[in-house]
Amino acid sequence: MKTTIIRLSFFSVIYLASFVGAIAQQTDYKYHSIFIYNFTKYLQWPAANSSGDFVIGIVGNSPIVSELEKMASSKTVGSRKIVVKRFAGADEIAPCQMLFVPHNQNRYLAEITAKARKSSILVITESPGLAHKGSNINFVIKENKWRFELNKKATDEANIKVSQELLSLSIPVE
């Protein structure tokens, strides 16, 4: 029953996101934070990344920080508290479960993904083509709807398991 409710709420988010239309990705991060939270229900990290606080990192400055902090103040991942941490640059990335790379940090993506893969960090981006360049999940607008690309190969390399439900909702990228 609980699994059905979780699935319905995630599908509801997808449905609601379809009404967003052509809202610019760079200016509205509420939907990003909702998606990011819901991703946690459909991913499984290795045992080494499954204790303590659930950390969502952000590289550089991004308006998503305030949206993620709002979400973190009222949500948990299982019994784990959600903590949002900002990292000034790619060289300062510390252990976390998810790492959001805003469009203004794209030039460091190769360095970030290499580091993240070794530490089982899910890398989330927001610019066209970045799932093809190694990010695990990339937000896109397709046909005026919020969608996300999922690079299964990159996720497998990071040793993060993706549920079939999440795969079925994504735009697959090889």
* Residue 94 and residue 57 in contact, taking contact as beta carbons nearer than 8 Å: yes
The per-residue pLDDT for 95 is: 93
The per-residue pLDDT for 84 is: 98
pLDDT digits (tens, 9 = 90+) for 142-156: 888 889 999 999 999
The per-residue pLDDT for 88 is: 94
The per-residue pLDDT for 138 is: 97
The per-residue pLDDT for 3 is: 57
Domain boundaries, given as residue ranges, for the chain: 2-173
| Helices of type H across the chain | 2-17, 30-39, 64-74, 109-118, 152-157, 164-169
pTM of the model: 0.84
CATH fold for domain 2-173: Rossmann fold (3.40.50)
- Split at pLDDT 50, 70, 90, the class of 73 is very high
CB burial of residue 164 (10 Å; 0-12, 13-18, 19+): exposed
pLDDT digits (tens, 9 = 90+) for 78-108: 999 999 999 999 899 999 999 999 999 999 9
pLDDT digits (tens, 9 = 90+) for 103-143: 999 999 999 999 999 999 999 999 999 999 999 999 998 88
Sign of CA dihedral 62, 103, 67, 72: negative
pLDDT digits (tens, 9 = 90+) for 1-54: 555 555 545 555 454 444 443 344 444 799 999 999 999 999 999 998 888 999
Q: Quick one: average pLDDT of 55-64?
A: 96
